Structure 1
């Protein structure tokens, strides 16, 4: 673990110290998780440690003060040829300004990232020190800059206020479901007749095909069957990782201990598992991470919607969770079933030529207008902040 000391990190608070750690065990777990917000599960210590165990170590940029850890984030290279973790894929209209060699922050392949950071009077200087250190670190490697993707817009705009050289660009959205105390029944009662009838019909179809459900912790005896179902679903949507890749991830989660926060709901027919959704409990939030299915059963029993949306509401309400976090895919389907669509942005600090302010504003305006047309009443209030 090396001290990250540079002559000019553009902050006048000399008591702060930046550091690069080459693996997460060098960082104190209790300090890290003490700064991790409920919604930031995929940047929690246990999840990051599980990724290291399954996929290899990664660097971490941290900021320390006299009281200990103040800010931190995992670093990685993105996926330059991928559809979700490359700047050219996320921002094709701005590719000439971006280049495609950035230092990426956040958990590997995470679609929700926040900087792990202290609250209170030290927060502003900690974030400044963090981003200027990341800029310097990227510049020393002749990269175009540093960015963190899939960040909630309100967090991204906070950073832009505190760190003048940063920009926030909308690029995606995530679905969340507020959890009423009465669970699914209360949620259905709040909908219009069309949505209520459709959802009840989907639940009836699921039951008609003989599906039964069980909630189970992710014990090792389930790894093979669950990994097979999840790989089926990932392969359907273009993933090239095989079943062993998924098993390694589950084993990594077991080693880090984060598996103890997992809960799976299984659909079964005649003693055979037909589908599964895996959730993770963190603070007041329930996070849906994996869905898997047996696609040899081709009938339309709405197993995805029943397991991931309807049953999660029942489970979350019973256990006192405040919301279900449903990630970034299939937003139209999630919005039709009661989800709120929340904006996600890239926060970027360039090392070389700055991004043009007009280009950033135009991009964000067009992105917002597109989502306003598509989702209208399902958009969260945060969307309006990008136009203010």
Structure 2
């Protein structure tokens, strides 16, 4: 017999139990990451779990935002009072499920029904699954009639052989330009050092602030220090900061990353622009240095997230679609998937035009996205 429970904190479930459901692509749904995102002053988190005895079958966070903190809704969820299901940061969600395909379908159905009950108690009239992978969207649509829209494209470097030389082979005709970026960095007298996040919070926070200001995403310095400190508290053992230093060891910039299973996640970078030398510091700190580090630590996949897709594709990334999916309440059982095919195709075409490559034609053939 299965049981569905709603927990008020990720701390209410043992870390190893939760993480047993979390594969490599789902770092942003891991216990440590979610613990660092708990902010009751910002949004109320709930963790819905389905279990059978001591065995965890399905799990997800959800977030109830007050109106003043709520992120903008995707058009498919316009005019809805939604409960947001899945991690609230990181822009990657998929269902955390255990067992055979049949067991996973049953567990997902129970999970969604539990979420619907929770949402109804909050006064919500829909569940929003944002930045959902195609496989998870299809699985959900095989159980419930879903309204969906293409949301974006996430960039990932799949370096299956796991060496820097195999990465260079991925680059094809772009390899000479990328080699030049490495040489220019080295010739500028710069080098990379690594350290855990806990050793870098105070020095790195102002540089992240500089970079955020530069790209019109300003955040108070105290807030930057707070989120870095919290991440160090929960994730220090998974963290690597790639510190860009000059000949005297002075800090020029840095990039915070986290390792999960066989993947490395590029998270945030910051630079002192009075000390940079037009030497591709960003790409060395976020791509080339981490890829060499990955070879040494048995990692083969670099997650780069959304946006700036052309720069990422030119440096070996592949692009994968992510979706917004809405389930109106009350729930109705039965397979179904409704979307604006023309709007989705227009977005896919826009991504293709910007990226100039990196898109598997079969994966991006949106007409194939049907309920499982």
Q: CA RMSD in A?
A: 2.8
- In 1, Cα distance between equivalents of 2:17 and 2:104: 15
Distance in 2 (CA, whole Å) between partners of 1:346 and 1:279 is: 26
Q: Which moved more, 1:270-279 or 1:332-341?
A: 270-279
Unaligned residue ranges in structure 2 (runs of 5+)? none
Secondary structure of the corresponding residue to residue 387 of structure 1: helix
8 Å Cα contact 2:258/2:266 also seen in 1: yes
Bigger mean CA deviation after superposition, 268-277 or 163-172: 163-172
Kindly indicate whether residue 259 of structure 2 is the aligned counterpart of residue 259 of structure 1: no
Query: Do the aligned partners of 2:159 and 2:166 also contact (CA within 8 Å) in 1?
Result: no
CA distance in 1, matches of 2:109, 2:263: 28
Give 1:190 deviation, angstroms: 4.5
**C-alpha deviations, 1:190-221, integer Å up to 9, x for none?**
5344x1222122222222322111122223x4
Name the counterpart of 1:340.
318
- Equivalence for 1:133: 114
Aligned pairs (5 A) from 1:254-333:
254-256=232-234, 258-269=235-246, 270-297=248-275, 299-333=277-311
Give TM-score scaled by structure 1 length: 0.84
Q: Work out whether 1:231 is the aligned partner of 2:209.
A: yes
1:149-193: CA deviation from partner (whole Å, max 9, x where unpaired)? 1122222222212x2222342101111111253633333245344
Residues paired across the two proteins, number: 362
Measure, in 1, the Cα distance between the counterparts of 2:41 and 2:261. 26
Residue 206 of structure 1 is matched in structure 2 by 185
In 2 relative to 1, CA 78–377 (structure 1 residues): closer, same or farther, beyond 3 Å? farther
Kindly provide the CA deviation profile for residues 50-86 of structure 1, in whole angstroms up to 9, marking residues without a partner as x.
Answer: 222797762222222234322121111469678x942
Change (3 A) 1:20 1:326: same
Correspondence list, 1:178-217, <5 A = 178-181=158-161, 183-193=163-173, 195-217=174-196
Shift in alpha-carbon separation, 1:293–1:29, aligned structure 2, 3 A: same
* CA-CA distance at 1:138 after TM superposition: 2.1
Task: Please point out which of 13, 22, 25 is paired with 1:39.
Answer: 25
Are the equivalent residues in 2 in contact too, given 1:73–1:105 (CA < 8 A)? Answer: yes
Partner of residue 14, structure 2: 28
Call closer, same or farther: CA 1:320–1:55 in 2, change over 3 Å.
farther
CA distance in 2, matches of 1:67, 1:353: 28
TM-score (norm 2): 0.87
1:122 paired to 2:109: no
* Structure 2 CA distance for partners of 1:214 and 1:119, relative to 1, 3 Å: same
Any conservation in 2 of the 1:54–1:248 contact (CA below 8 Å)? no
Task: Give, in whole Å, the separation in 2 of the partners of 1:119 and 1:228.
Answer: 46
